[in-house]
Structure 1
């Protein structure tokens, strides 16, 4: 706020001057006062321009939040997020949009045009001073208004951010309930849902938290969990699971807590169950470490009668052990140099399955040093 333009002529000075001198003195004094007022108005305009810049910045942030909030609220589907929260978020977004529109019209008014001559007539300078006084008052009002609007926009932005967070958290709680109700869903599908709930993880690439993109991923991941639960429940209800289920449980029992998903096929790794026992394993270090094991039907058919069928299972479990903190340094060290097949074979032998099915037939027998090293994380 400025204190206005102060000007006047000392009484003693007037008494000391003649009529012409007084007129000239007043004219000169008015001109100087006008020039000072121009400078004062320029400084005030710069300050107001900064306040308007802050207002525009607040408007941009609030507008982005309003857009993101609207997108999220309009994407809500049944079962994932309270619609009352979505409706409240839409109302807040509408309010913010109104504030953004109002901020668009705030601007610094054009400057007062002054004579700029060496010594303008007294009435010209006086008119300039009055105009500049009005400009200063107008700038004060605009600056105060810009400051108030910026504060309102900041509040609106904060409220929208909190509203988005509350809505996403509510949807995430619904997704967690789906997880809790889906104990048979594969770990692979569960991981994606867990990442979407936490909004972080190795395969979580959504840049903005509480966004419509994240919400879409959350809903999709939860649907995948439900589909996996149904598929796994059906698989476990099939007659074949009576023998395959115990094999999977055995594998889990020697996996030291590493999460395992299973699949069964007639042909695995290009080898038919009519002639071979076959298995494959994939592993991932993230999310506590986990793996996927694919086994041939032939292992199921002969598991109780042929130790080699069981040894193949142990070999595949050995593959995924490298995700454990106790095993990774041994696997990656100079004894194995990250050789997957030698490692899995040595691990199976060290586990007590010193038979061709442990990997010896397919990959050869590891050295005694390697078998001893693998025994370090049995």
Structure 2
């Protein structure tokens, strides 16, 4: 019997592992890092691309916004310069019409030459402006997708914006030249019109035998021409009307002189001039016939005056040939003074009673007396002596 606490005789300490082969040594375990680094690198690249894409988009949007603002400013400037250029070209066309319509009757050469020079200057200014206005505004195009495209287009938009700024400056530089040409054109054109209008008065005086209607048309046309405020269609029309009215004055005078032609022509014209001298400011037209108001034969003289209360300042005096035959007798002058008294009465309507024919005739007689023509041919023989009150009143009618 063995002691349980004593070692066994013949016992062996056995290994925990039984093997017929040698036991391999234990190796430390390695971490596999290659795939992890690849993923991280991919993430870094992706992040960089995303940042580049975002930056490119922001850069493009900013460039596009700035470009759109520049386009808007440039287009506004173009619109202003275009409007000014169109106005200048329109005025130039009408100014050319003024020059072309001149027939040498009323327009003096100095005014015409000045306007021609202004037209040339305006044409040059408009041509220069058109050259700038023809400049093209580049289209921005569609927004690209990729960052490298976005960056490239952003740079191009920045360059195009600089070009638009330069174009806007060029357009702005044209404005002073256009304004100066417009002013010169307007001044020269209006000077031509007002000069022609003022010449009309002298032209009228040079054609005293013209018909009243022709003279009135000339005066109206001159008033419209002198009232012009710009070189436009109405200005061109006003000069054309003035030229036509002047031509009518000449033709009507020629017709009147043809009717009065004959051995009494010079005396007739002297009598007409005398009558006009008595009533300055009253437009007088004359007709001559053998018998007027039943008188003219057997040494008698006749006269008849027509005037219009609603259109004062004009009258038609008809005289018998015998008035010219007896000219320059005192009796002839007295009869003419009576007829002028009728013609001028429209200027003094409130000085006498014009409700009856007798009162009207008494007034004309009184007016002749107040002018110093006391021969009975002044109306006394035909209508009797007028009241002294009429003579006194007539003295204030001039």
Please state if 1:263 is matched with 2:286: yes
8 A contact 1:175–1:197 mirrored in 2: yes
8 A contact 1:330–1:373 mirrored in 2: no
Q: CA deviation at 1:46?
A: 1.3
Please state if 1:318 is matched with 2:342: yes
Q: Tell me the residue number matched to 1:345.
A: 361
Match among 120, 123, 140 for residue 111 of structure 1: 140
* Residues 340, 22 of structure 1: alpha-carbon distance in 2 compared, 3 angstrom cutoff: farther
Q: Tell me the residue number matched to 1:50.
A: 76
Structure 1: which 5+ runs fail to align? 1-16
- Alpha carbon RMSD of aligned pairs, Å? 5.2
Q: CA deviation at 1:160?
A: 3.0
Computing the radius of gyration over CA atoms, which structure comes out larger, 1 or 2? 2
CA distance in 2, matches of 1:313, 1:72: 44
CA distance in 1, matches of 2:157, 2:150: 10
- Give the stretch that moved more between structures: 67-76 or 182-191: 182-191
CA distance in 1, matches of 2:104, 2:270: 38
Structure 2: which 5+ runs fail to align? 1-42, 370-377
Q: CA deviation at 1:242?
A: 6.8
Q: Tell me the residue number matched to 2:35.
A: none
8 A contact 2:278–2:337 mirrored in 1: no
Please state if 1:126 is matched with 2:151: yes
Q: CA deviation at 1:33?
A: 2.9
Q: Tell me the residue number matched to 2:30.
A: none
Alignment of 1:170-185 (within 5 A): 182=206, 184=208
Q: Tell me the residue number matched to 2:67.
A: 41
Q: Could you tell me the TM-score, scaled by structure 1's length? A: 0.63
8 A contact 1:273–1:298 mirrored in 2: yes
Alignment of 1:1-378 (within 5 A): 20-77=46-103, 80-82=107-109, 85=114, 88-89=117-118, 91-92=120-121, 94-96=123-125, 98-99=127-128, 101-102=130-131, 105-115=134-144, 120-165=145-190, 182=206, 184=208, 186=210, 188=212, 200=225, 208=232, 211-222=235-246, 239-240=263-264, 244=268, 248=272, 251-252=275-276, 254-255=278-279, 257-266=280-289, 277-282=302-307, 289-297=313-321, 300=324, 314-315=338-339, 317-323=341-347, 327-329=348-350, 344-351=360-367, 355=380, 357=382, 375=394, 377-378=396-397
CA distance in 2, matches of 1:196, 1:55: 35
8 A contact 2:289–2:320 mirrored in 1: yes
Q: CA deviation at 1:159?
A: 3.2
Q: Could you tell me the TM-score, scaled by structure 2's length? A: 0.61
* Residues 340, 33 of structure 1: alpha-carbon distance in 2 compared, 3 angstrom cutoff: farther
**1:13-54 CA distance string (max 9 Å, x none):** xxxx96654543343233223223222222221111110101
Q: CA deviation at 1:63?
A: 0.9
CA distance in 2, matches of 1:103, 1:89: 22
Q: Tell me the residue number matched to 2:373.
A: none
CA distance in 1, matches of 2:140, 2:322: 90
CA distance in 2, matches of 1:159, 1:207: 11
**1:117-166 CA distance string (max 9 Å, x none):** xxx54224313322321231222122122222343333333333344356
8 A contact 1:55–1:150 mirrored in 2: yes
Aligned length, in residue pairs: 339
8 A contact 2:95–2:119 mirrored in 1: yes
